[in-house]
Chain A
Amino acid sequence: MAVISGISDQDLIVGALAGNGEAFGVLVERYERAVYNLCLRMLRNVEDAKDATQEAFLKAYRALRTFKLGARFSTWILTIAYNASCDRLAKRKHDSGVELPERADQRPGPAEEIEREDEARALRRAIDTLPEKYRAVITLYHLQGLQYDDIALILGLPMGTVKTHLFRGKELLRQRLSSESEDDGVCNMVLA
């Protein structure tokens, strides 16, 4: 796999279409993390995120012949993953009536990283409380480092809407983090 790890996505897709399983394996290796993180932020549950990630790659594998060479594989696979996550969210809402605020990521980091991790954990928790449209945009823009036009393609939204969602999402995030910090301050005062 190391031999073909420097090959472009396009060549890997051509290889996978020719029946080279190793080529598709390299694509999975390249995009597994991005896809998993998008699903995790959308679904807020590790098991569901794993299932949605697997579903996205399975759909991509089956539909590889329909992929337009020249387009970006990253955008394509993230679009599939986003749609798979939305389907699961819709099913979850349909089954339970509400979107479950489940969160399985509660593992503490090593002791020396706790302070830095605390802020990251608070930020992830705050992102998870955002409505899904803002969650998706913030994850794709800030965590995945994608450009507005790619995000617009993935989410199927106009670029102006993406920018608006990003602005409003950050505003909400700022409010929630600020109120959380104030709550922590009150708790500390009470404990003191």
Chain B
Amino acid sequence: MRYDDARLDRALAALTLEEPPPDLRARILLATVHRRVPVFQTWELWMLGGALALCAWIVAALVAAPQTADEAVRATASIVGNVAVGLLDPALAMWVGIGALAALAFGLSESALAAFRRERP
């Protein structure tokens, strides 16, 4: 039997969409809106674990040798003092300021550009 244009068009027009399996919608919703978001992301758990391990190591080191605490305080004070003296240098302070302003300007322009793109139809 020859399928002519009219017969094929009729057959195609009569062809209906198939019903999706009954569990499909539930599967989609479970993967999207009903998805349980974990309290912490994996990288956050790693960071938290690392920070806790560092704290435990410091506490253990201080307990093992109490005199190291004084040395640690002195070393920290020395570092902070050196940084403060460095920042008081006008040339360094100027370059730090320029860098911060450039970063701020770049960030603001990016945000403005993103907002402009969102508003365009």
A residues neighboring B (CB under 8 Å): 16, 21-22, 24-25, 28-29, 32-34, 36-37, 40, 46, 50, 53-54, 57-58, 61, 68-70, 105, 116, 119-120, 123-124, 138, 142-144, 170, 173-174, 177-178, 181-182, 185
Of the listed stretches B30-38, B39-47, B80-88, B94-102, chain A binds B30-38
List residues of B (1-45) whose CB comes within 8 Å of A's CBs: 1-5, 8, 11-21, 24-25, 27-29, 31-34
Residues of A within 8 A of B13 (CB): 142
What is the distance, in angstroms, from B29's C-beta to the closest C-beta of chain A?
Answer: 6
Inter-chain contact B15/A58, CB cutoff 8 Å:
no
The SS class assigned to the B binding surface is: loop
The SS class assigned to the A binding surface is: helix
Top 6 nearest A-B pairs (CB, nearest first) are A21-B33, A36-B20, A181-B1, A70-B121, A61-B32, A142-B12
Residues of A within 8 A of B33 (CB): 16, 21-22, 24-25, 61
Sample 15 A-B pairs with CB under 8 A, ordered by A number.
A28-B28, A34-B17, A36-B18, A40-B18, A54-B27, A58-B31, A68-B121, A70-B121, A116-B14, A119-B14, A124-B15, A143-B15, A144-B17, A174-B5, A181-B1
